[in-house]
């Protein structure tokens, strides 16, 4: 198999496998009422200061309209809290509820285990090369996304 075909197979399979594994690991009995996409919205909201809808939409590369649909569902299910700005009542700030924080930590633990498994058998040089290669790939995706 040539390099092109090998890389194509690895990238396509890796993307699919990560999505499937993540769904199996994340959507447990406790979180069966949300989807993988919901979990990524929860991740984008994060645990720091509340964020406005535009900021979250930009992090997820979706429109505010698309995000609103997901947000309505997450609010209804008790994962997310919406609050109007104190200084500007037109601005809506989003933060995680206690339930949302538990889901966030659950998702974070999956990622920690995934990274530990990836790094487990790599040398320091291999790890450095992997990080550099993936960073270049990410930059290419971001440039493509912007066009």
Instruction: Give residue-wise pLDDT tens across range 43-90.
Output: 999 998 999 999 999 999 899 999 999 999 999 999 999 999 888 888
Distance of CA 33 to CAs 9, 22, 30, 53, 143, Å?
A: 33, 15, 8, 22, 34
For the chain, the domain total comes to 1
The model carries a pTM of 0.80
Pick the residue with more confidence: 32 or 45? 45
Residue 24 pLDDT class (50, 70, 90 cuts): confident
Beta strands in 2-131 (DSSP E): 51-52, 80-84, 92-96
**pLDDT range class, residue 144, cuts 50, 70, 90:** confident
| Residue 74 near residue 34 (C-beta atoms within 8 A) | yes
Range of the domain at 74: 3-146
Find, among 5, 4, 18, 137, the residue nearest to 129 by Cα.
137
CATH label of the domain that carries residue 97: 1.10.10.10
CB 93 within 8 A of CB 52: yes
Give the residue from 82, 124, 78 showing the smallest Cα distance to 101.
78
Mean pLDDT across the chain: 91
Q: Is the pLDDT of residue 147 over 90?
A: no
How far apart, in whole angstroms, are the C-alpha atoms of residue 122 and residue 128? 9
């Amino acid at each position: 198999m040539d390099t092109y075909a090998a890389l194509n197979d690895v990238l396509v399979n890796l993307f699919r496998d990560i999505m499937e594994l993540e769904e199996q690991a994340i959507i447990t009995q406790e979180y069966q009422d949300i989807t993988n996409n919901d979990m990524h919205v929860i991740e984008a909201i994060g645990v720091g200061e509340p964020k406005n809808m535009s900021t979250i939409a930009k992090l997820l590369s979706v429109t505010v309209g698309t995000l609103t649909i997901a947000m309505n569902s997450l609010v209804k299910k008790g994962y997310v809290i919406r609050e109007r700005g104190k200084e500007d009542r037109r601005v809506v700030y989003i933060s995680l509820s206690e339930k949302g924080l538990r889901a966030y930590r659950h998702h974070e633990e999956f990622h920690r285990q995934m990274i530990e498994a990836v790094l487990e058998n790599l040398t320091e040089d291999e790890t450095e090369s992997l990080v550099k290669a993936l960073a270049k790939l990410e930059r290419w995706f971001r440039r493509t996304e912007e066009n």
